[in-house]
Amino acid sequence: MMLTEIVNSIPPALIFLAGAALLPLCSVRLRPLVFVALPVLTLLMIINLEPGTAAGITFMNLELVVLRVDSLSLAFGYVFCLISFFGGWYAWHLKEKGQQVAALIYAGSALGAVFAGDLFTLFVFWEMMLVGSAYLVWAGRTRFSAGAGMRYIIVHLAGGSFLLAGILWQFAQTGSIEFAHLQGASSYLILIGFAVNAAIPPLHAWLPDAYPESSVTGSVFLSAFTTKVAIYTLIRGFEGLDILIWAGAVMAVYGAVYAFMQNDIRRVLAYGIISQLGFMVAAVGIGTPMAINGAVAHAFSHILYKGLLFMSAGAVLFATGRSKLTELGGLARSMPAVFVLYMIGAVSISGFPLFSGFVSKSMEIYAAEAGHYTFVFLMLQVASAGTFLYTGLKLPYFIFFGEDKLVPIKPIPRGMYAGMGLAALSCIVIGIFPQTLYSLLPFQLDYQPYTVAHLWETTSLLIFTGLVFRLMLEKIKPKPAIILDTDWFYRRPAGLAYRMFVETPARVFTRVNDAVMQLVDWISGIAANPVGFMVYRTGKLKNRTHKAAPPAAEPAIFDPDRYRGSLGTMVLIVMAGFIIIGLISFVSS
Amino acid sequence: MIHNVPVLIPISLIFFAFFTGILGVMRLRYSQLVAVLASALAFSLAVWGTFHVLNNGELSYSFGNWPQPVGIEFVLDSLSAFMLLVITGTGLILLLFPTKPGFKIEEKRGVPLYAIVLLLMGGLCGIALAGDLFNLYVFLEITSLSTYALVSIGSGKAGMSSFRYLIMASIGGSFYLLGVGFIYFSTGTLNMADVMNLLPELYSSPAVIGGAVFIVTGVCLKMALFPLHTWLPDAHSYAPPVVAAFLAAVQIEASAYIIIRMLLNVFTPEFMARLLPLTDIIGWAAAAGIIIGSVMAIAQTDFKRMLAYSTVGQIAYVGLGIGLANPLGITGALLHIMAHALMKSCLFLIAGGVAHKTGITDINDYRGLGRRMPWTMAAFTVSALAMIGIPPTAGFFSKWYLLLGSLDAGNWAFLAVILASTLLNAVYFFRLIEKVFAPAEPSDASARHPGELSPRLLAPVLVFAVLVLVVGFISVLIVNNLLSPVVQGL
Amino acid sequence: MKKKQLFFSLVLLAVFMIADIGFHLTHGDGWWADIAGFFALLGGLGCLAIILVAKVIGDFWLSRNEDYYDADRDS
């Protein structure tokens, strides 16, 4: 059929990207509608994609594969459309063109990246994602947004540079840019690039730095795309890499501990992302079919329930203007719906039965167990308990219960409820009918999440987490402080580095220029009018307060301007250098 | 007729220069029209010539029908065609920019402004087409003289900057001439192809080496290659916007072209390899220039000055490509010439347009402009992203080739320099992007003059921005058709 | 109040452990499967550990004022 042929040769990303270009031309009323329609269209397109397709074009002597369809890319494609759809409802009230366009560019590039079959295409979309997401960080307009956005950009560009270097190196060595399992020295550079986006410590600090400063609606998109594309690329390129197992386990616990310490709601959730990513990274490292299935399933559900959590946090922020636990409390009474929706997300992420986390996270843990990675298994379990602790217990307690700070709220737009409701629904549906998710996974395995043993383990874990929380409640009050993380290393010295590497060379250059300029002007002054110059000089020496302009013969001699280019002297010096080189070479030849 | 194209382009431009000069005395506005027509004519000829070259190979025209090697020759080959497209195309769009904001000229009728501009373009085209060392010098000086005049039109310290620029560029030109003299004494001919043939026998001659050094050094000065770049920031900051665009986008590139031409067609790479590590020196100087240019750009607060230092860094990319002296490197250098011409022109026009409408020249005052001038700032973002090297803009593709070239040469240091400079460029451009898209406050400097640029100001800006993207997409076409034949010899 | 809660928790723990032994509810073949009430312990002690570690890191080492980074110069 003609349509399927067309569909199978165009990357679905183009719908979003075309939408991004056309959206500004739509009227204000029309824009949310268009925004929401785009993922629907894309989803229809994706459904018609046939696994095994690889649409390529030749470009710059490179065989590009701009569309590679298999169950792995399809799974990510579906969930990206879903979250864009939910996010579009959530952001219905948004009047700001910039954010809408940026979100579309971001989502579209993410789609492009997961359907890319070669490294060049991947890189193009990787960088495009950066542009869209950076805008969303800046859009938050908190006092930290500007700086956080800059750091976000620099860190990601640096990661992208490693990625590019690795790609080029691989291309130079093997002549291929195929995006498959990666090996060799060049793959380490690529791994660093992927690791930055996957927020693997110590390269993770950008995430809790930038995400809490992004806009209310932007954070929903941010949480969904960059990191999950990175997980996808890790699965594609590095499955079974042992070091990832340990990195992931450490990440999971690290994220959980840091999440627990935070005061800003969205920073808690941001570290929560890192913790959850740890599960996925570890699973990628384990590499067995069950583990990969687990990683994909977890990524899928995580996008949805993390999206829901950011949506609710955003709703709280929108309604109260605050996002710090120390400033919130007692909102259950005034925002009951948000509370309920939040809790659905929270119990999903914690792995409660009947919700999506229960049927997805467990696969990863099971894979760890099956592979006899006992210590990793235990770390992941502890991290799971921790997840419930900070997302399901501490956070809702201090936002919705606890000390009632009598915070004035303003009503939140209906679109937000719609978005949250849809996301919550998806968490429940997947939880009750896990087959809907399982049918999308790369490997068709026989995994039964609802076993007595699993239910029992999860229940005991969760109940006792809750008990400990209750017991320790007095000791866990939030504090208005920040916790230093690895970004200290480049943030603390930032001012110093700026002075060292930018201001000082600039000052040195201009001092040299000034000195040379002085010399040159003296020379030209003497040459132009020797007598007059001598008169002027002696006159100045006698009369220290002489400030008048020099005699007409030499205009603007002592122009104290800085940053002045030097005159011939500098050139002559370098000429001399070249001549010397020339002489040396001819003498030696 | 087609055979006359190589000479027609520069000659017609110069002719129109005189014609416009006369008109300019009477009416400034008509002179702009004539200038636009003249450059459109030149552009069409360039396009025609390009197609001919693509299909049939190089074209040459002998002045006065004196046969080679005695006569003066104009040669149109792939490389020249490429440069002509860049020069005439960019020039055409730049000339469309309205006079007052572009040149900061009050309605002074006495200034034959567009005449000088046409002279400049004619000189540049002549450089691209020259087949003869001395002829190239003539056009080089025509170009330089026009630029001295044009720079001095600007405000503030323009006169002073122009004077300094004049001194330094003259030194550069003199060095070039000196070098040509040495070559002439050694080989007895000025024709480039001839020199290439005769040179191998004379490799041991010190005069030839000296000649090469002088020529290259002189041109490097005109190209503003570090450390010979010190005239550039002043000249470009104080010159009027369109002039600065011509300088940064076209004239500097033409100087880079001269070095490439010397490298490929006069002193063959073999010469460089055997006798004189000139390309290595250029490469390392360029590497330093990239970093220094970017660092100094970060330190600036005046928008045009920031762009000027950025130019130092960007032209150093071209220098880096030259320094690599392998096919990929040269391809990258040439592609970057085209990309930079488009990006820089767009940025300078934006600087001019914004300054004209709102009087803003300091980057801190750019806050909130994104809301007030959405189209202009969209174009700015595209160009800025291109300067940083983000796909799918043209800037990315030239960097890709440069990176591949560095890998090919096994030069990890250059690779690291290019990647590091991406980050440095990102700092000063994204800093500005962030300011631009910050919410508009009533206390902004731009609040007093709200509203988008007028269509006449905006149109060339948008054209350049679109071209930045388009050239990015079709860069493969350009490389395969125009640039591969050029670099095959390597 | 606290003592009552603690007592209640320990009782509950005992219940879970007995249920575990009695019904062979936990599956798996590592050394941990044989410990009664393992997951309950894992949850409780694990959380305790997280809270304590967080306290130590937070209060004694890495906690700083919100303005620590001086409201950010760019880059």
Of the segments A132-141, A525-534, B25-34, which one has the largest average pLDDT value? A132-141
Distance in angstroms (rounded) separating the CA atoms of residues B82 and B256 = 13
Residue B309 C-alpha, separation from nearest chain C C-alpha, in angstroms: 19
Q: CA angle, corner A391, sides to A386 and A395, nearest 5?
A: 120
DSSP B130: B
Residue A497: both structure tokens together: 């580095």
What is the per-residue pLDDT for C27? 65
Are the beta carbons of A483 and C74 separated by less than 8 Å? no
Residue C62 C-alpha, separation from nearest chain A C-alpha, in angstroms: 5
Residue C73 C-alpha, separation from nearest chain B C-alpha, in angstroms: 11
Residue C67 C-alpha, separation from nearest chain B C-alpha, in angstroms: 22
- Assign A452 a pLDDT band (cuts: 50, 70, 90): confident
Strands B73-76 and A54-59: unpaired
Distance in angstroms (rounded) separating the CA atoms of residues A277 and B448 = 49
* Chain C residue numbers touching A465 (CB-CB < 8 A): 43-44, 46-47
Q: Where are the domains of chain C?
A: 2-62
Chain A neighbors (3+ CB pairs < 8 Å): B, C
Whether the Cβ atoms of residue B158 and residue B248 lie closer than 8 Å to each other: no
What is the per-residue pLDDT for A570? 61
- Assign B2 a pLDDT band (cuts: 50, 70, 90): low
| Nearest residue, CB atoms, C58 vs list A261, A389, A495 | A261
Coil, strand or helix: which one is A546?
coil
Residue A545 has pLDDT above 50, yes or no: no
Are the beta carbons of A59 and B476 separated by less than 8 Å? yes
More confident of the two residues B447 and B239: B239
Which of A271, A287, A133 has the alpha carbon at shortest distance from A207? A271
What is the per-residue pLDDT for A552? 36
Residue with tokens 């003289």: B145
Are the beta carbons of A465 and C62 separated by less than 8 Å? no
Whether the Cβ atoms of residue A147 and residue C73 lie closer than 8 Å to each other: yes
Coil, strand or helix: which one is A93?
coil
Q: Where are the domains of chain B?
A: 289-490
Distance in angstroms (rounded) separating the CA atoms of residues A143 and A135 = 15
- Assign A230 a pLDDT band (cuts: 50, 70, 90): very high
Phi and psi at B60, nearest 5°, equal -135, 150
Using CB atoms within 10 Å of the CB of residue C62, give its burial: 0 to 12 exposed, 13 to 18 middle, 19+ buried: middle
Coil, strand or helix: which one is B60?
strand
Distance in angstroms (rounded) separating the CA atoms of residues A417 and A315 = 9
* Chain C residue numbers touching A147 (CB-CB < 8 A): 69, 71-74
Distance in angstroms (rounded) separating the CA atoms of residues A79 and A428 = 15
More confident of the two residues B444 and A256: A256
Which of A227, A271, A502, A283 has the alpha carbon at shortest distance from A387? A271
Q: Where are the domains of chain A?
A: 1-238, 239-479, 494-588
More confident of the two residues B201 and B97: B97
Coil, strand or helix: which one is A415?
helix
Whether the Cβ atoms of residue A486 and residue A202 lie closer than 8 Å to each other: yes
Q: CA angle, corner B154, sides to B149 and B155, nearest 5?
A: 140
Whether the Cβ atoms of residue A225 and residue A129 lie closer than 8 Å to each other: yes
Residue A522: both structure tokens together: 């003296």
- Please name the amino acid found at residue B174: S
Angle between helices B455-478 and B78-95 (to 10 degrees): 170
Size of interface A-B (CB pairs under 8 A): 136
Distance in angstroms (rounded) separating the CA atoms of residues A52 and A68 = 7
Phi and psi at A497, nearest 5°, equal -65, -40
Distance in angstroms (rounded) separating the CA atoms of residues A145 and A136 = 10
E strand or H helix at B142, and its extent?
A: helix B133-152
| Nearest residue, CB atoms, A589 vs list B234, B275, B423 | B275
DSSP B411: -
Residue with tokens 């000229």: B105
Residue A282 has pLDDT above 80, yes or no: yes
CB burial readout A73-102, b (16+ within 10 A) else e: bbbbbbbbbbbbbbbbbbbbebebbbbbbb
Residue C21 C-alpha, separation from nearest chain A C-alpha, in angstroms: 12
Name the residue of chain B whose CA is nearest to C75's CA. B427
Q: Considering the entire predicted model, what is its pTM?
A: 0.83
* Chain B residue numbers touching A571 (CB-CB < 8 A): 168, 171-172, 221, 228
Are the beta carbons of B434 and C74 separated by less than 8 Å? yes
Are the beta carbons of B209 and A123 separated by less than 8 Å? no
Torsion of CA A265, A270, A275, A276, to 10 degrees: 100
What is the per-residue pLDDT for B137? 93
Size of interface B-C (CB pairs under 8 A): 5
Chain C neighbors (3+ CB pairs < 8 Å): A, B
Are the beta carbons of A124 and B206 separated by less than 8 Å? no
- Assign A283 a pLDDT band (cuts: 50, 70, 90): very high
* Chain C residue numbers touching B434 (CB-CB < 8 A): 74
> B434 touching C, CB under 8 A?
yes
Name the residue of chain B whose CA is nearest to C73's CA. B431
Residue A465 has pLDDT above 80, yes or no: yes
Residue-wise pLDDT for B188-244, tens only, equals 888 888 788 887 777 777 788 888 888 888 898 888 887 778 788 878 888 888 889
Which of B315, B331, B326, B312 has the alpha carbon at shortest distance from B279? B326
Residues 467-506 of A with CB under 8 A from B: 501-503, 505-506
Residue C35 has pLDDT above 80, yes or no: no
Average pLDDT for chain A:
83
Residue A135: both structure tokens together: 């805008």
Task: Find the DSSP H helices in A354-405.
Answer: 356-370, 374-387, 395-400
CA neighbours within 13 Å on the CB side: how many for A130? 30
Task: Find the DSSP H helices in A48-96.
Answer: 71-90
- Assign A544 a pLDDT band (cuts: 50, 70, 90): very low
Phi and psi at A178, nearest 5°, equal -65, 140
| Nearest residue, CB atoms, A382 vs list C42, C58, C74 | C42
Are the beta carbons of C25 and A154 separated by less than 8 Å? no
Task: Write the DSSP string, A325-346.
Answer: GGG---HHHH-HHHHHHHHHHH
